[in-house]
Amino acid sequence: MFRPRVIPVLLLKGKGLVKSVQFKKHRYIGDPINAVRIFNDLKADELVFLDIIAGRENRTILIDFVKNVGEEANMPFAVGGGISDIDDIRRILSAGAEKVIINTHAVLKPDFIKKAADTFGSSTILVCMDVKEDVWGKQKVYISNGRKKTAWDPEAYARLMQEMGVGELIVQSILNDGKMSGYDIQLMIKISKAVTIPVVALGGAGKNEDFKIAVEAGYVSAVAAGSMFVYHGPRKGILVNYPSQEELNTIFI
């Protein structure tokens, strides 16, 4: 039986983990390496780390951090943040990451995705597209951690990234981020129908049922979440968690 991957997405700000709501109101969560150890014990499918200030500081996600994760993690992991050069990718992969995630530079220089995919293979290159409605109610792709609107319609952008050779798309709803009220299913359906490459749903998951809904209605190949894996209970106490293997096997029946 096919079981979609279930992926914790962890945000880095400085040396700490944070969690956002609609890309704002960042709350400190804890030490990232400690979180890796806990996810090891909980047998997470894979991990994603996104450095949300790397681009603003004109750097990539820190190589020493990637090495530290590589030494600790028992599962595959992908990292993103400020990646804009082939040598950036080479260093990150050499440090232990299995995949890299590119956001802003994919919009600014789409040909970079083609060069990266040709150099390292499509399965190594992921693009994360952040989407929200503009003031006219039209969904657009945003960059620079959600601060800048682009002219790209999400479906057209997804098709372009597929043409450039990206191996997987992470589709994130900015408005649903941190709300824990469910994914933007209509967005996931649109993107999944526009491309044939794997699509990962991100932004809004709050319970196991949200994963099942996204897979069944949105045709996504994997589901990802942040808040759900670092909070517990209605008061959002900080507790790194992950479904048991038994739970995962029953979610998608």
Check if 130 is active-site: yes
Find the catalytic residue in 45, 51, 130, 210. Answer: 130
Task: Please give the helix or strand (H or E) that residue 191 lies within, else none.
Answer: helix 185-194
d(CA 204, CA 201): 9
Q: What is the dihedral of CA 184, 8, 17, 29, to 10 degrees?
A: 80
β-pair type (24-30, 16-21)? antiparallel
d(CA 223, CA 73): 20
CA neighbor of 219 nearest in space, from 237, 239, 198, 202: 198
Residues 6+ apart with CB under 8 A from 166: 106, 113, 117, 122, 125, 126, 127, 197
- Residues designated catalytic: 130
